[in-house]
Amino acid sequence: MQFSEKHNCELSESFFHNACAARQRKAWMRLTYCFFMVLWSLSLSVVKQSLAQDAQQQFTVVVYNVNNLFDGDGVALFDDYKPDKYPPKHLLKKVENIVRVLAQVEPDGGPHIVLFQEIEADQTSEGTSKNYDRLLTPYQDMTLAQMLAEPVSDPVRDLPAEALLLKALSDAGMGPYHVAAGQYRPDPTGRTVAHINVTFSKFPIVSSNTHQTSGARGILEVVHRIADQSLTTLNNHWKSEAGNPEAEKVRV
């Protein structure tokens, strides 16, 4: 079969156009594929960044009544915490149990913020620094168990209960914590108030203030700095006696 020159040219031109169109389709397919791959990668990056930001914003806050954590100086408003009934080994066991509970809540370094109630208001704290790093620096090469081994030195006996707890948490790899302790004031109504509220925070503490109350422990207000935000916690512990109408007036 013979084809005219014109027909051959038409076939060649048609083949050329078809080949060009096929190459263009492949090129557009590659461009479209690359576009969606880039879009998917960007979307994945945004999702990862969002998840990372969410993870950074998540933290654990624990409210923990430690039920009469007294120090070891033997000067206490409750007879149960005088030296004959409250030896150093009992103090150590009590602190170790608190640490064990917090480790169950947040095993990796402990909770971010802990609001403690019923920590003893140190009755021998006149002139005692509330710079806890300075208080504990002499014992940085010792554990709390070693510090409370008999015979206990007078400087260790003088440490406030929250400092002993801070040391135990550090020994267990928790923290580091900033500490804000409520200011103690003997109750003007004559009721025995032997405790303060204490807040431990992994975040910088901007300020703390104790709002004194009649017949109860002072309410500890603490402002924490978390990234570029502020978080305010109110650490409060009303007196019990829920069935006492007079005590109910204090709570309300």
pLDDT, tens digit only, all 252 positions of the chain: 554 555 555 545 555 455 555 566 665 566 555 554 544 455 555 445 544 555 566 889 999 999 999 999 888 888 889 888 999 999 999 999 999 999 999 988 999 999 999 999 888 865 456 789 999 999 999 999 999 999 999 999 999 999 999 999 999 999 999 999 998 887 777 777 788 999 999 999 999 999 988 777 889 999 999 988 999 999 998 766 555 666 666 655
232: helix, strand or coil? strand
**199 in Cβ contact with 180 (< 8 Å):** yes
Instruction: Report helix, strand and coil shares of the chain as percent, to nearest 5.
Output: 45, 20, 35
Domain edges within the chain: 1-58, 60-251
Between CA 119 and CA 179 the distance in angstroms is: 13
Q: What pTM does this model have?
A: 0.74
DSSP string spanning 141-157? TS-HHHHTSSSPPHHHH
126: helix, strand or coil? coil
Would you state the structure tokens that stand for residue 76, as one six-digit string? 């206490």
Whether the upstream peptide bond of residue 176 has omega within 30° of 0, thus cis, is yes
